[in-house]
Structure 1
Amino acid sequence: MAETHPTARWWRAEPMLLALTAAGLLLGLALWPLGLRAAATGCWLAVTVIALVPAVWWMVAALRRGQAGVDLIAVLALAGTALVHEYLAGALIAVMLTGGRALDAAARRRATRDLRALLERAPRTARRRAGDGVVVVPVDEVVPDDVLVVAPGETVPVDGRLLDTGAVLDESALTGEPLQVERAAGEPVRSGVVNAGGSFLIRAGATAAASTYAGIVRLAREAGAENAPVVRLADRYAAWFLPVTLIVATVAGLAAGSFTRAVAVLVVATPCPLLLAAPVAIVSGLSRASRLGVVIRGGGALENLGRARTLMMDKTGTLTAGAPAVVDVVAAPGRDTADVLRLAASVEKLSPHVLAAAIVTEALARGLPLVLPTGITESPGSGVSGEVGSHRVQVGKRPVTQSVPAWARAVEARARLDTAAIAWIVIDDEPAGAVLLHDPLRRQAPRTMRRLRDAGIDRLVMLTGDRWEPAREVAAVLGLDEVRAEQSPADKVTAVRAERERAVTVMVGDGVNDAPALAAATVGVAMGARGSSASSEAADIVLTTDRLDRLADAMDTARWARRIAVQSAVAGMALSLLAMIAAAAGLLPPAPGALLQEGIDVAVILNALRALRGDPAGRHPMADTTRRLLDRFRAEHDSLRELLALLRTAADRLAADDPAALAAIERAHTFLVGDLLPHERAEEQLLYPALAAPLGGPEATATMSRAHAEIQRLSARIGAHLDRAHAEGTLAGDQTDDLLACLYGLHTLLRLHFLQEEENYFTLGAAAPVAAAERR
């Protein structure tokens, strides 16, 4: 879709106009001291005419849109200086006018919303069964009841139903969810999803044009087309400045009986603070945002972001990481957790499944040595199996057996509570363990939500294609105002349109399914680092780094740039009003008035350039030593978190009366004394004092210090129980309940403590790019 703004055709000519007018003005200034005054005035008149022609066009285009903005005053001033032979004043106004238009065009241009990625991804052919064979036909020739073959890796071309077999599908293009889903024979399948398993047959239920994916493309086009051009900040202020100028000029001219007096008023009233200062502030904001990894595709988007009150977000890939991660590895009684994970990851090394990648990543992060498996077989929907050394290992669905072990039932119950996926591990035909996987919340998400509230967002809404249970969990953690789950792309567009009617609305997403909603919002923001190119094409703002907190940076930048633009415009107009009074009194002829106006312009432009530096109140100075400490302790957290499972494993075995419970408790206590407590003491002695200055005082870390004290107390209590058990040769019955409370409580406390530190402190270490941008 092409830009619909009436002046869009001029944006390529505006830099040339600026160059011509500036060259003419300078040439005239060079000729005047040489005594070539006729030639100089001729240059200035030519410059005035060069600017007057497009200015008239811009004015007419504005009037057609029902707007009478800054262009009208500029046209009157240019024409007036030519009529009263104040050619230098006309040339000065011409340079200011074309300079402002060039800056405004650079800030206002927005990306065309052609959504090429959506169109390129749409299937163009389909494999249709014809007797005993298969023929490839254009997708437009598919009709309902055709039987189609969908090969591995192909996109389903039309809506239909599975025939004689199940299928494993990647539905992320429609729902945004990274986990693959299984569909049984007879279940519906939508166009746009990808076959992540073996070949299957579907019976077409609609034509390509009437299918789901084509509907997404149409929604995006319609939503993008309905957005009206942004009204410039300058024009909004000109709505009252214009009539004031015309009244003062008319009264001055009539009172003095001189047309020159009226022109002098128009010259000093030429709203260069609007033509120049506001665009400079906006362009400065765009420049600063780009250094922070935020590409804002125009001044209109920046202005609207600065006025936003409602923020709507997708969940997967936006608030969450968008890829499954291992939450825990549970080994069957008598099995070693590390060995079970090592065998599972070795088998999964050759699998393309999204869960396989997460399991392999977890094993490598723990430093486990993986080996190359042999005899690998993979059954879509069931899992992968192979030989690892002398063991036969299967990873995937839990085999159907006569009885389910108690530990496995506990894993299933926990997965339901945590809304986690389970990859079961079977070694030599015996259930050996399970890996729990979950799409984790981004570490920066809670802090980002708080920053957005502080920036003026009144309403936070989550839109997701995911189920209600994980959606509600994320919303509760982040304190969102509303959550809407199981949303189709059309549902998202409807919700965004409804919110946009009430307030300036920002929509954030990362998938193809989010593109229509991004286009429908007042401002669309795409997570461009990992999101689809379709969502980036549909968005006004693209976050080029995979960090949600850059959205808060963009909001801060937008509000600061808009504040500076308004401040510069208001101050400049106030000074212009004083100059208008002087001109009306006959104290300022046109040429000196134009020079004075230039002085006002320089002042407001210098003020507008402050937008490059960002809001001083929002800066958090942090020493490099503090940043290095944050990096150190964040890395230690990552390694320590993997060992927190020792506490839960020990508690589970104690609760199950496992003979190995005492040994498990000893391993947990060794971890506490040898790894965790030294880490906590180092934080207390090194990190927390260093954070006092950037966080505004030691009180900011007081609650974390209290948590350290509780961690120390519970660890000592567990140690006391172990001392007694060693003295008596076994755990006494009266120790069980207290040990369970200590182990489970400490596990929960540490998980919460780690999350709080990561969200409140460790995300500060990622502000290094912002600090670097400030220095540039």
Structure 2
Amino acid sequence: MPSAEADGHRAPRSISERALLVAGAATASGIVAWLVGARQVADVVWASTTLVGVGPAAWWIWSSVRRRRLGVDVIALAALLGTFLTREFLAGAVISLMLATGRALEDRATRRARRELRALRDRSPRHVHRVEAAGLISRELADVVPGDLLVVQIGEVIPVDGRVESTAAVIDESALTGEHVPVELATGDPARSGATNAGAPFRMRATATAADSTYAGIVRLAEAAEADAANAAFVRLADRYAGLFLLAAAVATIAAWVLSGDATRAVAVLVVATPCPLVLAAPVAITSGISRAASRGVIVKGGTVLEQLARSKVLLLDKTGTLTLGRPSVVDIVTTGPWPASELLRYAASLDQMSSHVLATALVRTARDRGLSLQQPDLVEEVPGAGTRGRVGDHFVAVGKAAWAAANAAPGWASAIRRRAQLDGALTVFVAIDGQPAGAVLLDDPVRPDASRTIRTLRQHGITRAVMVSGDRSSTAESVAVLLGIDVVRGECSPADKVDIVRNERAHGPTLMIGDGVNDAAALAEADVGVAIGGTGSVASAETADAVLMTDRLDRVADAMHIAQRTMRIARQSVLVGIGLSLVAMGIAGVGLLPPVVGALAQEGIDAAAILNALRARFSTRRRDAMSPADADLARRIIADHAALRPRLDDLRATADALSARPDPGAMARVRRVQGILIEQLLPHELSEGRELYPIVERILGIEGATATMGRAHAEIERLVRRLGRLLDSIDPEHPDEGDVGDLRQLLYGLHAILTLHFAQEEEEYFTLFDLPAGSQPVEEVGQLEASP
């Protein structure tokens, strides 16, 4: 439902705001009467204001008693009655005004801190445009059923989950993920409800009802988090502080009265102890922290979860879909014939457009990501378990198992490829063109680029033990664990095994479990804090988890832990500083140096300071959040260029593989083409990174010279590229000898190795610092570099 402000009307005032207006007007009226000499009238007005304040204070005490809590509102009531009995009517009026101001500040601060959570509900669509026989008809959102064809207009929120049926769609997922970079969706891609159409109108086929869609789930999570915000363990701890403070205030009040014999001095002590920041600061800080986490794409289900997250010591992670991307991706292309890697992939992907196999989908996705122009195949035949064959352009292409792809090939042609794949734990898809072996595409489930940095950052925030719990084979899990610095690996785990491991790991400290699948749901529920990757994970894991990542980025867990720890520090600081200032003011009032009226004003300042300090939890202190738009645009451009260059690494290796002892002129020509790409595209990119991107990285990290090692790698890459050029200039392209070919092969393999490592380091160490969607590129930057044949 749109907010009142959105409709152009001011939101109605809360009860606390109306009470503040009444108390303020009455106190001011009494001051005016006192100034014009009507002292009795002033006293009557102030006394009435004091008595009016007694009602809310008594109600707050009764509410605390019903919740079995002893709050400092007792001090407020005692102070009001004390000022009335000692005829300090102005002080009583100021206390009433102070109480109303504190509650109004708390309400406003809480509303402000919950802004992102409210915005989720406010932007929910109410109607949809459904394609029917009569044309495009506006219908209620609740009328949508799976299978309906909908049209999403420019600027509209996607109403339900579905799949794109138009040629392409450009959407803004910032409301779901916190990412403000538009993402392009192709035909058949899933479109999640809650995202906004940032491009032309497009058609989509609904795959869920509104109630079962992503955005409805987010709203439910937000409402649960908002409802539980005040129930954090730290708020209960604040109540225990309140009991001690109440005792201290009572002792100080009695001592001041007994030692001085002056009831007014005792009332002054009560006044400066009213109300304690305990009842205000902790809930405001925790609600602000939850709101801040929501703005980073993490829905935290309550204040208790936020505190537990701040205390976590043991990290448990699923592998597939959590530490890895959870889908097969092309990791290498091996060529054994005259076709370059890009052409082999283009022919295979063109044919696999007609297949629904998960590996075929991976080939097609990779080819499109690399900007390859796919052709429409014909005469396609698919045999389950074997492969697919058909005609692509003027060539007959077969993709699948080696025996299927090229049954008449020489025995053993696939052995070397299989061996390479087995060493890397990859899958192989063999490709033949016109009946002759052309090579193979190697696929694997790659580790998330942000996984390594996330684990290191979590260790900096207090994680002392990292455990992988995976259903995969132990050998496969261990290969990933070595890359990421995981302490313990538990492979071949069933869902029940994962639950047992979580229970056992609790002996090492509070547990934080991250998972994404249905098989992780029970373990997420068992952990002290369960975090589900909701962007791509299952509904079951999201429902049972304590926190949900609404973006497919693992590093948001580290962001959430940072926010949780900072929030708890601010809450504790606000409470303890407020108590300290109140105790100092009580001492000053006890020796007669702080009259009740002045004391009331001083306590008002203490309370306001505590609330304002608690609101700091709403704001970010991280350097990357303050990155300028120009810096962000530059980073996106360079990262897009980097992604466009990555396929050239396959060409390097394939070209080296193709160099036989006595290569033909065609092989030498491929080396020349590769060298041209390195000179014209790679070296300018590396130079741009060093001069433009690395200074931004150092500012974000706050460490001068942090990129020096990577700069040294740039120099070595340039040296090898120049050396390759000089070697080519010295070789007879028609009749190279075996020594020249060996030097060429060695240089190409060396460049492939150093570039592969260098690219991986940049993606893990630097690119994950920038807020770009994982596995995607900004719409305006894709394909900036020309694809070379």
- TM-score normalised to structure 1 length: 0.72
How has the CA–CA distance of structure 1 residues 88 and 651 changed in structure 2, closer, same or farther, with 3 Å as cutoff?
same
Aligned residue for 2:414, secondary structure, equals helix
Distance 1:469 1:246, change over 3 A: farther
Equivalent position of 2:252 in the other structure: 248
Offset of 1:752 from its aligned partner?
A: 0.6
Contact 1:309-1:503 within 8 A present in 2 as well: yes
Distance 1:734 1:281, change over 3 A: same
Secondary structure of the 1:351 match is: coil
Distance 1:531 1:481 in 2: 25
How far 1:574 moved relative to its partner? 0.8
Query: Which residue identity lines up with residue 488 of structure 1 in the other structure?
Result: S
Provide the residue aligned with 1:25 in structure 2. 23
The alignment status of 1:330 with 2:329, answered yes or no, reads no
Q: Which runs of 5+ in 1 are unaligned?
A: 1-14, 64-70, 112-224, 770-776
Helix, strand or coil: the match of 1:434?
Answer: strand
How has the CA–CA distance of structure 1 residues 556 and 741 changed in structure 2, closer, same or farther, with 3 Å as cutoff? Answer: same
In structure 1, how many angstroms separate the alpha carbons of the residues matched to 2:668 and 2:411?
21
2:304 counterpart residue number: 300
How far apart, CA to CA, are the structure 2 residues paired with 1:707 and 1:418? 25
Matched, 1:572 2:563: no
What does residue 488 of structure 1 align with?
A: 494
Is residue 2:84 matched to residue 1:81?
A: no
| Residue in structure 1 matched with residue 152 of structure 2 by the alignment | none
RMSD across aligned positions (CA): 3.8
Q: What is the SS of the residue equivalent to 2:321?
A: coil
Q: Are residues 1:593 and 2:599 paired?
A: yes
- 1:565-624: CA deviations, max 9, x gaps? 2222221111110122233334446554333211111222233333333336x5686454
Distance 1:577 1:229, change over 3 A: closer
TM-aligned CA deviation for residue 747 of structure 1:
0.9
Q: CA deviation at 1:441?
A: 2.1
Matched, 1:437 2:443: yes
Find out whether 1:415 has 2:421 as its counterpart.
yes
The answer for unaligned runs of 5 or more in structure 2 is 1-12, 34-40, 118-227, 775-789
Q: Which amino acid counterpart does residue 729 of structure 2 have in structure 1? A: D
Q: Deviations over 1:460-511 (max 9, x none)?
A: 3333323323322222222222232222222223333333454233222223
Q: Which amino acid aligns with 1:456?
A: G
Which shifted more, 504-513 or 596-605? Answer: 504-513
Cα distance change, pair 705–605 in 1 and its aligned pair in 2 (3 A):
same
- 2:504 & 2:750 partners in 1: Cα distance? 45
Query: 1:362 aligned to 2:366?
Result: yes
Structure-to-structure mapping, 1:131-280, within 5 angstroms: 230-232=233-235, 233-235=237-239, 237-238=241-242, 240-256=244-260, 264-270=268-274, 272-280=276-284
Residue in 2 that maps onto 1:762 = 767
Corresponding position of 2:721: 715
Q: Does 1:612 align with 2:612?
A: no
Corresponding position of 1:748? 753
Question: One-letter code of the match for 1:29?
Answer: T
Alignment-derived partner of residue 447 in structure 1: 453
CA 1:37–1:258: 2 relative to 1, 3 Å: closer
Instruction: Give the 3 Å change call, closer, same or farther, for CA 100–628 of structure 1 in structure 2.
Output: closer
With over 3 angstroms needed to count, the CA separation of the structure-2 counterparts of 1:730 and 1:428, relative to structure 1, is closer
The corresponding residue for 1:506 is: 512
Instruction: Please tell me the residue identity of whatever aligns with 2:564.
Output: A
1:497 lines up with 2:503 in the alignment: yes
Determine the structure 1 residue equivalent to 2:484.
478
Q: After superposing the two structures, state which structure 1 stretch, 567-576 or 730-739, moved more.
A: 730-739
- CA offsets, 1:162-193, max 9 Å, x none? xxxxxxxxxxxxxxxxxxxxxxxxxxxxxxxx
Aligned to 1:53: 59
**Residue 524 of structure 2 contacts residue 544 of structure 2 at CA under 8 Å; is this kept in 1?**
yes
Indicate if the aligned counterparts of 1:45 and 1:90 stay in contact, CA closer than 8 A: no
Give 1:562 deviation, angstroms: 2.2
**Counterpart amino acid of residue 433 in structure 1:** G
Q: Percent identity?
A: 46
- Secondary structure, aligned partner of 1:483: strand
What residue number does 1:372 align with? 376
Q: Using the TM superposition, give the Cα deviation of residue 768 of structure 1 relative to its aligned residue in structure 2, in angstroms.
A: 12
Q: Report whether the alignment pairs 1:320 with 2:318.
A: no
Aligned-partner Cα distance in 2 for 1:497–1:95:
47
Work out whether 1:640 is the aligned partner of 2:639. no
Deviation at 1:261, TM superposition (A): 5.5
**Matched residue type, 1:652:** D
Q: What displacement does 1:262 show?
A: 5.2
The whole-number CA distance in structure 2 between the counterparts of 1:506 and 1:103 is 33
The one-letter code of the counterpart of 1:577 is L
Q: TM-score, normalised to structure 2's length?
A: 0.71
- Letter in structure 2 aligned against 1:276: L
Take 2:558 and 2:731, find their aligned partners in 1: how far apart are those partners? 53
| 1:388 alignment partner, one of 387, 392, 410 | 392
**Counterpart among 450, 454, 466 of residue 472 in structure 2:** 466
Structure 2: distance between partners of 1:656 and 1:499: 57
Tell me whether 394-403 or 673-682 shows the greater mean CA deviation.
394-403
How many residues are matched?
A: 631
Contact 2:71 2:243 in 1 (8 A): no
User: Partners of 2:708 and 2:278 in 1: how far apart?
Assistant: 49
Q: Please give the alpha-carbon distance, in whole angstroms, between the structure 2 residues aligned to 1:590 and 1:502.
A: 52
Partner of residue 291, structure 2: 287
Contact 1:646–1:667 (Cα < 8 Å) also in 2 = no
